[in-house]
């Protein structure tokens, strides 16, 4: 049986793997899938926080970042919390055909570069507070 720290480290490792994948996809101009990976990075770091802040070691099977945040002791600034709603859309918009055209229409190189910069800041904050 894994310890709480081992569970937290698992989620951190998985987030880092997804980060590397996001960078690879961005470099290959696969911008929509890169955004999806950024969502996974954020989700997995929030799940690490969930494990840290809850008795159980198995976070809920949800992809809703704000919901995960709300079940932790994190106190993100309002701007960062609101940004989680935008990141949530990258998961939904890349999974379902009726939303895909929307995400492809906004996933310009400039947009994706801006989002990477924002996620770098959020990622740093989430890692520092673990």
What are the tens digits of pLDDT across the range 9-66? 999 999 999 999 999 999 999 999 999 999 999 999 999 999 999 999 999 999 999 9
Count of the separate structural domains present in the chain: 1
- What is the CATH classification number for the domain harbouring 24? 1.20.120.330
Structure token pair of residue 2: 């894994």
Q: What does the mean pLDDT of the chain come to? A: 95
How does DSSP classify residue 129?
Answer: T
Contacts of 89 by beta carbon, 8 Å cutoff, 6+ apart: 103
Domain assignment of residue 111, given as a range: 4-128
Measured in whole angstroms, how far is the alpha carbon of residue 44 from the centre of its chain?
A: 6
Closest CA to 48 of 6, 2, 1: 6
Instruction: Read off the pTM.
Output: 0.96
Tokens 């310009």: give the residue: 108
């Amino acid at each position: 049986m894994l310890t709480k720290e081992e569970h937290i480290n698992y989620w951190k490792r998985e987030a880092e793997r997804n980060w590397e994948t996001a960078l690879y996809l961005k470099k290959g101009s696969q911008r929509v899938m890169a955004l999806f990976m950024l969502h996974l990075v954020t989700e997995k770091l929030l799940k690490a926080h969930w494990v840290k802040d809850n008795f159980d070691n198995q976070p809920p099977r949800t992809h809703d970042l704000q919901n995960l945040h709300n079940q932790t002791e994190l106190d993100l600034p309002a701007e960062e919390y609101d940004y989680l709603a935008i990141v949530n859309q990258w998961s939904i918009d890349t999974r379902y055909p009726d939303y895909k055209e929307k995400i492809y229409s906004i996933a310009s190189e400039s947009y994706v570069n801006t989002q990477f910069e924002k996620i770098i800041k959020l990622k740093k904050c989430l890692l520092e507070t673990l």
